[in-house]
Structures are given as structure tokens and as C-alpha cells.
Amino acid sequence: MPPRQLSRHRVAQSALVLSLLAAWAMPATAAAAPRLRCQIEQGATSQVLEFAPVADPYSVPAIHINTGFHFKAVVIGDAQRVQYINLYTYYETDRRMLLLHEAKYQAPTIQTDPARDALTGRNYLYSPGRERQFQYGCALLEVNP
């Protein structure tokens, strides 16, 4: 083969080898990732929310739940481990957001097949003045992507 064709042939061969290696390595890199799964009940509604780890706690928004409650789960870490989890529950009054509850978990352990509230237990909170009940429980587990 002329040198130019030989060079193209080697480049194509190298690309094929690299793509095969990447395909072979893919299942190893597609490991389970940590997720915080919370079951939230307020009024007559129940919902399950999942939260992935993030690097910036300030980028996490509070989620509006039904009648005036807001829930925020800050999971700091990466795809391999969780450094800490902070949970916040707010109630929206006419004038401002009122913090009802804050919980912190340092270096929580990921569990296989956990109960729905294995990390936090079951929490019951009440809105000021109106006595509306808000319940939540969370578990830290691994989820396949």
C-alpha cells in the first residue's frame, strides 16, 4: 500500500479498536447511581419524588406541594457517593416562606431495597394557623440509569 493509504488504514483500524473498547467498557461505567427517593403526602395527594446528587446546593429549587407547602432536598455528591443531604420543608404564608423543618444527614449510607422512609423516618409537619398536615419519608438507594 502507498504510505497515504496505509496511514488511513491505520487510523480506521485504531478508530475501530477504540470504539470496541468503549463498547466493552460501557456496562462497567453504567453502574447504579445514588438517588434520594421521598414519598410525600399532603391533603388527599401522595407523590414520590427522586433527587440526584448535585455539586451546587444553591441550584436546587424548592418544589411546591399542594396547598402552601414547599419541599427542598439538597443531595450533595456525585455518581459514586453522597457527602450529605439537607432537607427543608417550608410553608408559604401571605408575607413570606416560613421554614417549618430542617434535617441534615452527613455521609448517609446507600441501602439496597430500603423501606420507603429508611433514611428519615416518617415526618409529620403542620402549617401554622391552618393545621394542614404534611408528611414525608425518604430513603437513599441506588438506581440503574
Q: How do residues 74-125 score in pLDDT, each as one tens digit?
A: 999 998 899 999 999 999 988 899 999 999 999 999 988 899 999 999 999 9
> Residue 142 above 50 pLDDT?
yes
pLDDT value at 24 more than 50: no
Chain mean pLDDT for the chain: 84
Q: Residue 123 corresponds to which amino acid?
A: N
Question: Residue 13 has what pLDDT?
Answer: 53
Q: Count other Cβ atoms within 10 Å, centred on residue 138.
A: 29
pLDDT recorded at residue 117: 94
> What is the spatial distance between Cα 31 and Cα 25, in angstroms, rounded to a whole number?
11
In this predicted structure, what is the pLDDT of residue 22?
45
The residues near 31 (Cβ < 8 Å, ≥ 6 apart) are: 79
Contacts (Cβ under 8 Å, ≥6 apart) of 137: 38, 39, 116, 117, 120, 121, 122, 123
pTM, 2 dp: 0.76
Segment (H or E) for 10: helix 3-29
